[in-house]
Structure 1
């Protein structure tokens, strides 16, 4: 009887990114206003910081992907899956594709095949797509609930849910250049993110009569397995 002890490679994650905000609310403005402006500013600043961090994280995914998971000849086994490249993107349509066009569901199944050929687990898969891509999914053949087995069509409940084993998320923060969008699909073990410090505080201003509101977040992000994420370069036809 041979007993094996599971082991894994050590991965270093650098926490080397930081974002901050700082603003001041003058005492006079605070007294003359009937709104809790500091609270409103804190909520808005936190949301803007979240958008900034998510944009950074998504912009730095593509560089860590396996060569078999991108391009015109993707697929570790087949080598003939067209996922599009810059200047030669996939022109996506909802249904009935014409010459040179790709149906939106076909694009999703291509991503699924690429991950299948890398032997990526089926559970825990995700797909992040822009709003126009998700809208096309709602107009595709999947809008017929009898085909998906759902109780209601996605046009009724607005929920994309799971398609070809992917949990679908919508984001307007994906990388885009001259109308060419990068759409990512992958598995949870392919990408990691860590926030080491998140702090929001108020202090009195030294140079004015007012209260300073400031916040800081320090974080890091890394593609931990380039075979577990694939990318389509696409634009709406």
Structure 2
């Protein structure tokens, strides 16, 4: 495999160059009397400020990697580090704190709360962190202005197009100013024009604000946005492609 280039407080910890690190990671699922290794001895390092695309077909293990990087799951073997902290030894309460404060998620299915309007959905991560209500409202309004949805803040998700819902999801992912944004097939349910808009937005976020973005996808065309492309096949890293987008 080609080598890549070189308890949390409420405020973000000082970021090191190596933001995320998977070392000797295995993820094994029990299926009846047999075991299935979704990931096999994965070594992967992600630097602060990178745009990384994890690319592979269905069943390759890329979503399992995303769950580990997002502190949504733990490995059976190996170490998962976030900013120098070994999260594979943490309790669920600590992991929930990390997810709430340091990681922004964008999902293919949007995962908006249907009974909440747009601004309430964007405010949700801040409410989980028990932020002041006035601050949360103002922050959500600022984010909706950034994604050009200020006029939709009182709409329910069901009253929005797919592209608009994904823009709400992006605004929500930015609410706590996370260290890293994890995007799982963010254009999977969108038409090509809207998908390009979303990808361009994420690219600008990466370039102008130096956000660390990790995108999970099966679409090789999305690789053009990345600094590095991690090719996954059958639970292993097949190769890592270095790009020169900066």
The structure with the largest alpha-carbon Rg is: 1
TM-score, structure 2 normalization: 0.26
Bigger fraction of residues in helix = 2
TM-score by length of 1: 0.27
